[in-house]
Structure 1
Amino acid sequence: MKTHYLAAVCFAVLACNTKQKKQAEPQENKVVEKEQPATSVTSEKFGTLPDGREVERFTLTNANGLQMKVITYGGIITSLTTPDRDGNQGDIVLGFDTLEGYLQEVPYFGALIGRYGNRIANGKFTLDGKEYTLAKNDGPNHLHGGNKGFDKVLWTASEEKTDNGAALKLQYRSKDMEEGYPGNLDVTVVYTLTNDDELKVDYKAATDKKTVLNLTQHSYFNLSPESETILGHELELNADAFLPVNKTLIPTGEIKDVEGTPFDFRQSKTVGKDIEQKDTQLEYGKGYDHCWVLNGENGEMKHAATLHDPKSGRVMEVLTTEPAIQFYSGNFLDGSLTGKENKNYVHRSGLCLETQHYPDSPNQPDFPSTVLEPGEEYSTTTIFKFTVK
């Protein structure tokens, strides 16, 4: 009996140890697969241009539910939804519900801008002794690429593969002498809505003839969609200097320290704090419509701006490889445009933060060059990062 008892105990212990080992082995060898974030890029017809070409609308969604809609006409961002501090999603860019809205005379809502973002004095510039004449579509000056800039052309779009979010590639060939600019220019812009809640904009271009180029993105932001104006938004700009302008908003050539001026945004302040000051520069722009010279090296990624809306808690940080940023406070919006959901776009109901080179650089040799040579690649990146506080 004693022998049988001991044998039974030994067998039971052996069986138990074997069972535990068998249960443990799969745990040691088990590979835990990380669930991939749910991102998507979808498309649908948005409308038809007067010449019969169809315009597509692409919807990019990241893993956190941020969503952006882009149309192939003008590469326009028609909506961008981000959460407020309570998690409520809201569309933070100005625009229209239909294609017809964008075919009116509108102030570049959400569009890609080229060939030259901002102004060129008197619609002229010279390269290698040859003068090129451009459209004068802003008083005596050339603005944002002319009568039919990149904001009014049809881009070719396709989903771009990425490991971090959802991405859309837009491509366009601007033919030699289109809007007066030399060179056949091949442009690629990639919008990526990352899973880090960033909108990353990568610009690339190449030319077969010496030309000038200054691309930017012209979304009008209002981080509190239910608010009529952006005057209560708090803005900080990483810039010790700005470019004073003449009456037609062309830089005078001076690079002026912001110290002691309404243009000092080195510490965050509301957009409306100094905008009504009696200041010649503010009078010329009817508010802020100026270029700030960013601290840091041209070509290196750097902090450019932080925009915060105390009401919603939304924060938008801007980083860029560009040397400057144009802050425009929506001064020419006058209530004549009715946008999405029948919202009336009143005076200063949106603002723009356009990363770029300096205005009128082709005519001002002391400014960073915007010349692009054959064989060179134009390459810049701007990131808009969204958080709350």
Structure 2
Amino acid sequence: MAVISRSFYYLFIPALMTIVFIVASQYFIDIWRDWMPVVRKLPFYLLPISAILALQFNCSRLSFLATLLLVYIVYEQGLILEHLQPRDLAEPIFLSGTLLITFLAISKDRALLSVHTAKTLASIILCFIIGFTWTMLITKASLLTDNQQLASISLLTPIYVPVGIASAVTCIYAIWRASGIDSTIAVTLFIWLFNYYQPGELPLALLISMLAVTYLFAILTQSYHLAYRDDLTGLSSRRALNTMALSLNSHYSVAMVDIDHFKKFNDTYGHDVGDQVLRLVAGKLSLVKGGGKVYRYGGEEFTIVFPNKDAESILPLLENLRSEVSHYNIVLRHEQRKTSSKSNRKDSAANKSKTVNVTISIGVAEHHGESTFDQTIKLADKALYIAKKNGRNRVHA
């Protein structure tokens, strides 16, 4: 369910917003037509800005897309290759662009100054070679057909096959990865197909300007996650906690959560298992009810803020969390499991698997009008210390 919800948020919502934009653009056609001189210039400002910002936040795929779209709109407006009409190379450019977008969809973001950039550039050239070669071959095949209708079918059908496969692959990767960057690449393919199969419905400059705005939004979202999200657990970070504290009113409660004996557990079972425990506890804490917002405070400590709640009302909720974590069995796999066959795993799974449990201690403090957020955090931390001193695996207010 988590993957489905993430896919819906990152893919279907941006796709829906794109469709709404297209419909709205057709509905308000009289308004943006008056602004066409400005709209035609927008891509030349928005795309370079998108490409530069994308590199700053390690979104190299969006940087490549923005740069290539800039080259494409320059070509479409006749600013390069003036002796050719834009439709002269429509089919090979369309197919090459489709393959290129799919290649970037299945790739990963890499640093610009690395060997991966050379590989990406070589792959981009290969996409163009394949696109132009494919269309050249099917064009020659169509010329050998005497019947004009059959020639038209033979020309179009082979293009549909790679385009269909490329579209399916792009959508699969966007759903599988469920990230803002991948959904933006999928939206790029949608706009690319729309512009080719529905020519003249909307100006190319308007569509590309919309894509550039989408890129900027995706980059800003990526930068927000880098600044305010914890990579390991997926929870909001301490910086996000401090920012959120500025918006709290005078009535709230804070819970400080700490994993008991985590350092000893980490030393015994290794950092990989320790990271799994952190993700497990984070996942359990994120299910807290009562409007609690969970943050990773640092190390094995977490903070839960309950706006408009007093300490007494949240104690049963925190007690449920403590109980769920303590009763959750963590299965430790034997190191040889990765290299053993399935039959050997079945025979020796019972002997080589070990189940362990972790517990958490929780300290709770209620904010009073005369105290600050930092002071409330310190009070919750003192309550946490008392919970640990009294035997751990308990909630203290």
More strand, by proportion: 1
The question of a shared fold, defined as TM-score above 0.5 by the shorter chain, is answered with no
Q: TM-score, normalised by structure 2?
A: 0.20
Q: TM-score, normalised by structure 1?
A: 0.21
Q: Which has the larger radius of gyration?
A: 2
More helix, by proportion: 2
